[in-house]
Amino acid sequence: MPIHLSMESREILRAVIRSVTTLSDHKSEVFICAWAPNSYLLASGSGDSTTLDVDWKDDTIFASCSTGKKIHVCQMGRSTPVITFTGHENEVNAIKWDPSGELLASCSDDKTLKLWRINSERYIHNLCAHQSEIYTIKWSPAGSDSSLPNQDLLLASACFDSTVRL
């Protein structure tokens, strides 16, 4: 259904919505941008192999993945990653911290979904339920560190095989 705005509404929107600046360091299409939860820090990812996805754990720690099959956990103020996870056999498409910040999930073109702990260099679970590349993942808003503490924590994965699995 289309949304129609009156001329007055359009003028108000033009006055409120404006471009503040343009960040143009990427060399290819930009796929992702993610604000740190409580700050003005913005991370972005692009098809130029710098980063395909970014997920902030908190205001200082974030994870990133790229076509290079690796996942980097980085901390603001450090020039090298806190830890680099390896284990996927193909491009890593998405990463997501669970609500507690204890687990990091990743999905890949290798048809796997892996779970990692920041204090372990190897994945702790390797899930192989899809028949094709896994495109994205999302944790449910549940578990002890969420607004739904009595609900079980679930992880959804969406795939090029036209399925979503929990």
Q: Give the pLDDT of residue 1.
A: 45
Collapse the DSSP code of 7 into the 3-class scheme (helix H, G, I; strand E, B; otherwise coil) and give the result. helix
63 located within any domain: yes
Q: Give the pLDDT of residue 80.
A: 92
14 located within any domain: no
Residues 31-88 have pLDDT tens digits of: 666 666 776 666 666 666 656 788 889 988 989 887 889 999 989 889 899 999 999 9
Domain that holds residue 38: 25-165
CB atoms within 10 A of CB 140: 16
CB 92 within 8 A of CB 72: no
64 located within any domain: yes
CATH number of the domain enclosing 65? 2.130.10.10
157 located within any domain: yes
CB atoms within 10 A of CB 47: 15
133 located within any domain: yes
Residues 30-39 have pLDDT tens digits of: 666 666 677 6
Order of all β-strands in the sheet with 83-86: 53-56, 61-65, 70-75, 83-86
More confident residue, 41 or 149: 149
Overall number of domains in the chain: 1
43 located within any domain: yes
Report pTM: 0.75
